[in-house]
Structure 1
């Protein structure tokens, strides 16, 4: 078996439904795990799984079941309330298209800023700048403020930057659903190349065809827990049986 790249142990995270919150005097003296917290809910608890180098994992589940939250935990964007997740190598996150981009800066300046925030040196960005811009098909807009780009153009430049990172782990949320079909296929071919090069992929999508194309293994999140961890086809069949296939 290859080297573990991501290891989750008893992983859990909770959120608050509203800003208002009441707690009793007794609640203040209760242990952390036993406190009742009105207005809060667990997105999921007790998640345990390991991802090895070169695996392509599809995260499956309905809206609101914590799929994107799980990617953010792996990326280190948010911290868990219980357990932990260990990541053995750097990640290239394509989670939120606005992450790291500044509205009032030009596309050119945003390329340098965002790539730099992800660890690329100025010399590396200089060497790859033309490839980033050409892949995004956005050369006529390099001096345009980022805020004036369409959603599809923002996805183009974001993916182009992230795809240039050399990090072993790539996190992809559903942002590629935005934009035209031709560019989406171009991105998918790039993902195929990275997988052939041994990258590890964590992929969130509601598109079953895309999940079957890229992923060999699936994690099925539902009702605050990991319901199934197995081959992607079997995981999708289980999910479809639970929610998609009409009950007779």
Structure 2
């Protein structure tokens, strides 16, 4: 039997309020792993999470604001490093975690397309062959501004270009954080059709969303987090039911 594509045990991460100590990989390199403890303001956005996700699973992550949903996606993506426990991802990750998709504001849309694609392993020749297809997906507004610095893009334009790039990655794990909340109805339908296609190819999806229609459409399994802890790991319907009970209390 194949190992789970994502596996975690005793997973936890500690932040310090009012400090941007996000424990990114670059911080580990700069400080050689030395992390100062701060008696005041320390808190755990996630703690003691243990789970496994099989290849092809579709998981929706729900909970109130501030319960660690996006932090979990960043741990899966390797953007954040845990303080407790461990997490293993057996496969490359295609993450759409922010509207900007990691864009550099001073670079043009075209330059960011090549930068982000390259950082995720797409070759220059592949990007040259697919640039028209990617830009066409992003839409006319992005196409017209492709050689304009991204700092002039609206949030909707950034997410269009970001989704267009990420959807072309061949990676087996797709992480999506509220991306379909931005954009018009036509763009959302493009997103839905693309996610349907990727799932049809056997990709693994972990989706954070407040949109229950999106969650029930795409996700068979649900994680309900509360105060940084796993409350429900079951079907999407079970997770949503417990969430609604908690909100009604």
1:34-57 deviation digits (Å, cap 9, x = unpaired): x88331111121100000000000
1:14-47 deviation digits (Å, cap 9, x = unpaired): 111235xxxxxxxxxxxxxxx8833111112110
Q: Is the aligned partner of 1:116 residue 2:118?
A: yes
Q: Is the aligned partner of 1:183 residue 2:181?
A: no
| Higher Rg of the two aligned structures | 1
1:32 aligned partner: none
For structure 2, list consecutive stretches of 5 or more residues without a partner in the other structure. Answer: 20-36
2:246 aligned partner: 242
How many residues are paired up? 230
2:54 aligned partner: 52
1:18 aligned partner: 18
Q: Name the Cα RMSD after superposition.
A: 1.5
Match of 2:89 among 79, 87, 90: 87
Q: How does 1:66-105 map to 2 (within 5 A)?
A: 66-105=68-107
2:45 aligned partner: 43
Q: Is the aligned partner of 1:232 residue 2:236?
A: yes
TM-score calculated relative to the size of structure 1: 0.89
Judge which range, 176-185 or 72-81, deviates more: 176-185
Question: Structure 2 CA distance, aligned partners of 1:90 and 1:187?
Answer: 21
Judge which range, 189-198 or 94-103, deviates more: 94-103
SS in 2 for 1:170: strand
1:107-159 deviation digits (Å, cap 9, x = unpaired): 11111111011111101101111110000012222112111111101100000
TM-score calculated relative to the size of structure 2: 0.89
**1:9, distance to aligned residue in structure 2 (A):** 0.6
For structure 1, list consecutive stretches of 5 or more residues without a partner in the other structure. Answer: 20-34
Indicate how the Cα distance of structure 1 residues 230 and 2 shifts in structure 2: closer, same or farther if over 3 A, else same.
Answer: farther
